[in-house]
């Protein structure tokens, strides 16, 4: 969102309700719009590689967090910070594409573990470097000092929202 657009909104609000401090609303709007634009760039990359953000999140969680025997759906849901039904749908879609597999444990046939298949691991290892490069490119307008300030502010806001 351009500075000109935000200034116009601010001017409109000052004219309409000069008694209100709308800076918090405009700040949150800017953050929301920024998040949407960043996510759109990432989504475009993922979609061009046959994935969406939810599938990528699950593949990355298995890649970075799973022991050789895999993760249970509950452990995977925690690693992805989503609820049970959402993780079940993600697993099913990726299983259909042979990117993950479910396996039961010999000692407890009710216990299911999810692991990356060779195809799933190959996709993650192929896409991870250019994905990170894209993320780096998205914040390149920021100076190193601005990145540190952004990281600190982001952590503080997320911590406050998690309380």
According to the model, what pLDDT value does residue 71 have?
A: 94
Helix spans in the chain (H): 3-16, 23-48, 53-65, 73-80, 84-96, 118-138, 144-162
pLDDT tens-digit readout, 88-118: 999 999 999 999 999 987 776 678 999 999 9
Note the pTM of the prediction, 2 decimals. 0.86
pLDDT tens-digit readout, 56-76: 999 999 999 999 999 999 999
Q: Give the model's confidence band at 1: pLDDT under 50 very low, under 70 low, under 90 confident, else very high.
A: very low
Q: Cα angle vertex 47, ends 115, 120, to 5°?
A: 20
CATH architecture of 49-162: Orthogonal Bundle (1.10)
pLDDT tens-digit readout, 10-46: 999 999 999 999 999 999 999 999 999 999 999 999 9
Q: Which residue ranges make up each domain of the chain?
A: 1-48, 49-162
Instruction: Count CB neighbours of 38 within 10 A.
Output: 14
Mean pLDDT of the chain: 93
């Amino acid at each position: 969102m351009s500075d000109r657009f935000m200034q116009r909104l601010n001017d409109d609000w000052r004219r309409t309700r000069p008694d209100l401090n709308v800076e918090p609303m405009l700040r949150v709007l800017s953050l929301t719009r920024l998040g949407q634009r960043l996510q759109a760039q990432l989504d475009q990359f993922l979609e061009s590689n046959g994935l969406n953000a939810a599938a990528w999140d699950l593949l990355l969680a298995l890649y970075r967090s799973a022991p050789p025997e895999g993760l249970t759906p509950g452990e995977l849901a925690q690693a992805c910070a989503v609820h049970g039904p959402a993780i079940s749908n993600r697993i099913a879609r990726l299983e259909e594409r042979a990117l993950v597999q479910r396996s039961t444990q010999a000692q407890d046939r009710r216990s299911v573990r999810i692991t990356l298949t060779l195809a799933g691991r190959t996709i993650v290892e192929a896409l991870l470097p250019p994905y990170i490069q894209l993320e780096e490119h998205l914040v390149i307008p920021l100076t190193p000092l601005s990145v540190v300030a952004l990281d600190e502010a982001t952590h503080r806001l997320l911590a406050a929202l998690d309380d």
